A and B are shown apart, each in its own frame.
Chain A
């Protein structure tokens, strides 16, 4: 997913000299084309994310479309005040890119578990928050971010996420993608959890339970219409995210549903507000935390009316 995004951004940058990419000294094996072929549009800011973020704002206020790039929590939490005061308050045309959302760097330890940043970013005024599901969405997101004038945050997977969308998609910021339709329940996923959502939907279909699946690639602004329609049409909603159940997709959907007056069975599938007691591969940690297909299927069957 990361490679798809960076390659798409590179192609866009070749055509648009306003695009600049700032990295916090990361991107080995991915950013070399940028560095070598577009040196005037590339800055390695060193291991200094606060400065990198404000440099990006200064460049954006001078006409650039500035992307900052780092991994896990470094381009967001490390420099949160620069994101708030400089990027967001100035409505600067800065796009913050974090590679390795959720447990993508699961074995690397708690420092590298990006499991709260979506909620924190969602709180930032003026900030559009994006988490693509697969390489197809990631490529489309790169173009959409360049097109959108204003601050954005994008959470990417690391590498190796499978392609889930077949063919072209109609990717628009703030518009959920209905990847599968059904009338019995809705699975709303953000980021790479779409894979599990589709897997669970397929298993449910074997039991003649038809699930609608929404890829909520934009967390803010939330596609409220898609959520409310899901509540009205299917009566049962589960949100799936590799993130704390506080403040992220589950939080956003819960806030909306609670005020909607629509009766709905609802469950947030995500992480408790706790540090993971163990480290390990993304897949292993997903099982440990009930984010794998089997666990989500169980949670779904428990929620559905018998």
Chain B
């Protein structure tokens, strides 16, 4: 059975860890980790079936972070749900740590595959889903992509393949935060209309606010969105979500919140949670 944790609390913890981890390591990609925090929180709190005591449990659902640069968020959620001690997070991006700056499976329980170069994860997930389909398994494979990643042609090779093979237990979630490495998605290589593209490739698509915990949970409960088709969730998100000075800013694809900024960010996150509300869109 899926776990039953509080998604809002888990999202808060993920964000706090991401701020601390990137600050300590002076590492990039805090904005990318924050934009997907609510998606990760609902997936691991309510949806995915897994057993932290048995990372290789054959019946588990597979989760692949194809946007491997957002791995601070993934390491954080894996630690919070019990795959490894939370203290490991302090080693993120440091000399000799298993927690590399892009998602790495070596020595990290709960990481299914290593990513970091964009455009690999959906194919890997489709391969897992195809193997499951042929073996008659019910496990789901969920792959989280970035929007900039959809520039990669291999993403669309995988999209074609998954629809052709009717991989209805495969789910792609696009963290559509509208900002990629060197500009906005619209400026760099426009993906619009993104949901229409996935539909045209044969996927069943839902769009939602990727920070609305209830909406995410409701959408995941409907999987597969349509029998015989892979499902795509285009999640409209805000880069740096939850920290006012990071939201929607390209700078926070790179900069680490050091010194006073770290304290400010953590205080904002705590205050928003204490106010008994999820973080509202800016």
- Which A residues lie at the B interface, using CB under 8 A? 40, 43, 45-46, 48, 50-51, 53-64, 66, 81-82, 85-86, 89-90
Contacts of A55 in B (CB 8 A): 123-124, 126-127, 130, 158, 161
Please, how many angstroms separate the alpha-carbon atoms of A57 and B131 in the complex? Answer: 10
Minimum-distance CB pairs A-B, first 3: A58-B127, A54-B123, A62-B131
A69 to chain B, nearest CB (A): 15
Q: Which of B117, B124, B135 has a CB less than 8 Å from the CB of A81?
A: B117
B209 to chain A, nearest CB (A): 30
Contacts of A45 in B (CB 8 A): 161
Question: In the complex, which residues 108-146 of chain B have their Cβ closer than 8 Å to any Cβ of chain A?
Answer: 112-114, 116-117, 119-120, 123-132, 134-135
Contact A51–B157 (Cβ < 8 Å): yes
Contact A61–B160 (Cβ < 8 Å): no
Please, how many angstroms separate the alpha-carbon atoms of A53 and B125 in the complex? Answer: 12
B145 to chain A, nearest CB (A): 14
Please, how many angstroms separate the alpha-carbon atoms of A43 and B165 in the complex? Answer: 10
B115 nearest CB neighbor, chain A only:
A85
Contacts of B112 in A (CB 8 A): 61
Contact B128–A54 (Cβ < 8 Å): no
Report if A51-B161 is in contact (Cβ < 8 Å); known contacts: A85-B114, A85-B120: yes
Contacts of B134 in A (CB 8 A): 40
Report if A50-B105 is in contact (Cβ < 8 Å); known contacts: A59-B130, A62-B127, A85-B117: no
Please, how many angstroms separate the alpha-carbon atoms of A101 and B164 in the complex? Answer: 31
Report if A51-B130 is in contact (Cβ < 8 Å); known contacts: A46-B160, A61-B113: no
Residue with the greatest number of chain B CB neighbours at <10 A, chosen from A56, A59, A90: A59
Measured as residues with beta carbon below 8 angstroms from the partner, the interface class of chain B is: 20 to 34
Report if A59-B113 is in contact (Cβ < 8 Å); known contacts: A48-B157, A48-B161, A86-B120: no
A55 to chain B, nearest CB (A): 4
Contact B161–A58 (Cβ < 8 Å): no
Q: Which of A48, A58, A63, A85 has a CB less than 8 Å from the CB of B130?
A: A58
Q: Which of B105, B116, B117, B125 has a CB less than 8 Å from the CB of A58?
A: B125
B155 nearest CB neighbor, chain A only:
A51
Having A54-B127, A59-B130, one finds 4 other A-B pairs with CB under 8 Å, namely A45-B161, A46-B160, A54-B154, A55-B124
Q: Which of B120, B135, B161, B164 has a CB less than 8 Å from the CB of A82?
A: B120
Please, how many angstroms separate the alpha-carbon atoms of A62 and B60 in the complex? Answer: 12
A136 to chain B, nearest CB (A): 33
A58 nearest CB neighbor, chain B only:
B127
B106 nearest CB neighbor, chain A only:
A89
Please, how many angstroms separate the alpha-carbon atoms of A64 and B133 in the complex? Answer: 13
B123 nearest CB neighbor, chain A only:
A54
- Some 8 contacts from A to B, beta carbons below 8 A apart, are A46-B161, A46-B164, A50-B119, A51-B158, A56-B127, A63-B131, A85-B117, A86-B124
Please, how many angstroms separate the alpha-carbon atoms of A43 and B154 in the complex? Answer: 18
Contacts of B105 in A (CB 8 A): 90
Please, how many angstroms separate the alpha-carbon atoms of A255 and B135 in the complex? Answer: 46
Contact B157–A50 (Cβ < 8 Å): yes
Please, how many angstroms separate the alpha-carbon atoms of A58 and B165 in the complex? Answer: 15
Residue with the greatest number of chain A CB neighbours at <10 A, chosen from B117, B127, B128: B127
Contact A58–B157 (Cβ < 8 Å): no
Contacts of B131 in A (CB 8 A): 58-59, 62-64
Contacts of A56 in B (CB 8 A): 127
Contact B123–A58 (Cβ < 8 Å): yes
Contacts of B114 in A (CB 8 A): 85, 89-90
A82 nearest CB neighbor, chain B only:
B120
Contacts of A85 in B (CB 8 A): 114, 116-117, 120
Contacts of B113 in A (CB 8 A): 57, 61, 86, 90
Contact A62–B132 (Cβ < 8 Å): yes
B270 to chain A, nearest CB (A): 38
Contacts of A53 in B (CB 8 A): 123
Question: In the complex, which residues 143-189 of chain B have their Cβ closer than 8 Å to any Cβ of chain A?
Answer: 153-154, 157-158, 160-161, 164
Residue with the greatest number of chain A CB neighbours at <10 A, chosen from B112, B114, B120, B125: B120
Report if A58-B160 is in contact (Cβ < 8 Å); known contacts: A50-B154, A85-B114, A90-B105: no
Contacts of B157 in A (CB 8 A): 46, 48, 50-51
Contacts of A59 in B (CB 8 A): 127-128, 130-131
Please, how many angstroms separate the alpha-carbon atoms of A89 and B119 in the complex? Answer: 16
B200 to chain A, nearest CB (A): 17
A41 nearest CB neighbor, chain B only:
B134
Contacts of A86 in B (CB 8 A): 113, 120, 123-124
Please, how many angstroms separate the alpha-carbon atoms of A40 and B125 in the complex? Answer: 18
B121 nearest CB neighbor, chain A only:
A54
Residue with the greatest number of chain B CB neighbours at <10 A, chosen from A48, A50, A62, A82: A62
Please, how many angstroms separate the alpha-carbon atoms of A50 and B112 in the complex? Answer: 19
Contacts of A81 in B (CB 8 A): 117, 120
